[in-house]
């Protein structure tokens, strides 16, 4: 695990009062950062913020006005912003492959898992530019790199943000802003729901929130723009190696090629 000193830096964690978020907040504080904890649950956010000497903010990350207001508050309270972990997320909760689609639940899923990442990144970039750069890490999933037939809609949202991170990472690299994604396998959090019993029954190994916090520390130290880092039980976090795609004339294009309009 790479070491990193965050003394004097300020971090914002969305979904910071549950599961992965709590572990990340504690890890960032231990590394020296002052942490703002954003969560829909105000009471839980306050508990973890008080524990680490940070601040708690309550808000719906899917609302367009939330992330700009939160970034403004963090800068007002701490005078700067250096690290943003866009971690809030929910499960699909329905198949999403037939006429029984619950549109309201689908829109909520996209709002939290996708819109919040876009709103959060766009709100954070001006603040990070004011510091001459910074780090944005998005919690994605292995479902952002491969198919998850048990939850196609969740798969859709995680593929979307992995693609967004890969492109945004390149777009912001010259500003000194490093945008990366974490793509963990199954993590032992409430998001698993009833599936937790099934995993336990077959003794399927699960990641812990602390595993993700440790991986985040590695990504902060070693991540480069646009990377998606994979974390699986018993292994070390590592940057996923994307394949190239066929180019003009069928020739293979490198995986990190930057496409532009001409």
Domains and CATH numbers, the chain: 10-250 (3.40.50.720)
pLDDT in tens, 190-244: 665 666 666 565 655 677 889 999 999 999 999 999 999 999 888 889 999 998 7
8 Å CB contact between 152 and 98: no
Radius of gyration of the chain (CA): 18
Q: Which residues are catalytic?
A: 154
What per-residue confidence (pLDDT) applies to 262?
38
Average pLDDT over residues 120-124: 98
240: left (phi over 0), alpha (psi -120 to 50) or beta: beta
Average pLDDT over residues 76-87: 98
Give CA 11 to chain center in angstroms: 13
**Confidence class of residue 54 from pLDDT cuts 50, 70 and 90?**
very high
* Integer Cα distance of 200 and 102 in angstroms: 30
* Integer Cα distance of 236 and 238 in angstroms: 6
* Integer Cα distance of 261 and 54 in angstroms: 44
8 Å CB contact between 206 and 249: no
Q: Which pTM was predicted?
A: 0.91
* Integer Cα distance of 230 and 45 in angstroms: 27
What per-residue confidence (pLDDT) applies to 203?
59
What are the φ/ψ torsions at residue 11 (nearest 5 degrees)?
A: -125, 150
What lies within 8 Å, CB to CB, of 104 at 6+ separation is none
- Which one, of 28, 36, 91, 85, lies nearest residue 59 by Cα? 36
């Amino acid at each position: 695990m790479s070491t990193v000193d965050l003394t004097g830096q300020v971090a914002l964690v969305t979904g910071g009062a549950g599961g992965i978020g709590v572990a990340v907040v504690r890890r960032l504080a231990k590394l020296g950062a002052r942490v703002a904890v954003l969560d829909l649950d105000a009471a839980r956010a306050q508990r973890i913020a008080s524990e680490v000497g940070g601040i708690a903010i309550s808000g719906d990350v899917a609302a367009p006005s939330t992330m700009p207001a939160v970034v403004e508050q963090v800068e007002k309270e701490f005078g700067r912003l250096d690290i943003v972990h866009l971690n809030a997320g929910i499960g699909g909760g329905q198949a999403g492959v037939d006429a029984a689609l619950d549109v309201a639940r689908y829109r909520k899923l996209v709002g939290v898992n996708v819109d919040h990442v876009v709103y959060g990144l766009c709100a954070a970039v001006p603040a990070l530019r004011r510091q001459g750069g910074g780090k944005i890490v998005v919690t994605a999933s292995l479902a952002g790199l491969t198919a998850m037939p048990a939850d196609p809609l969740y798969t859709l949202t995680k593929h979307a943000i992995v693609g967004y991170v890969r492109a945004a990472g390149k777009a912001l690299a010259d500003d000194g802003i490093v945008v990366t994604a974490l793509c963990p396998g199954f993590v032992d959090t409430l998001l698993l729901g009833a599936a937790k019993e099934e995993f336990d029954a077959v003794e399927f190994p699960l990641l812990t929130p602390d595993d993700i916090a440790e991986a985040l520390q590695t990504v902060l130290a070693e991540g480069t723009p646009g990377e998606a880092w994979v974390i699986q039980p018993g292994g070390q976090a590592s940057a996923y190696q994307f394949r190239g795609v066929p180019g003009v004339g069928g020739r293979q294009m490198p995986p990190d090629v930057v496409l532009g309009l001409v």
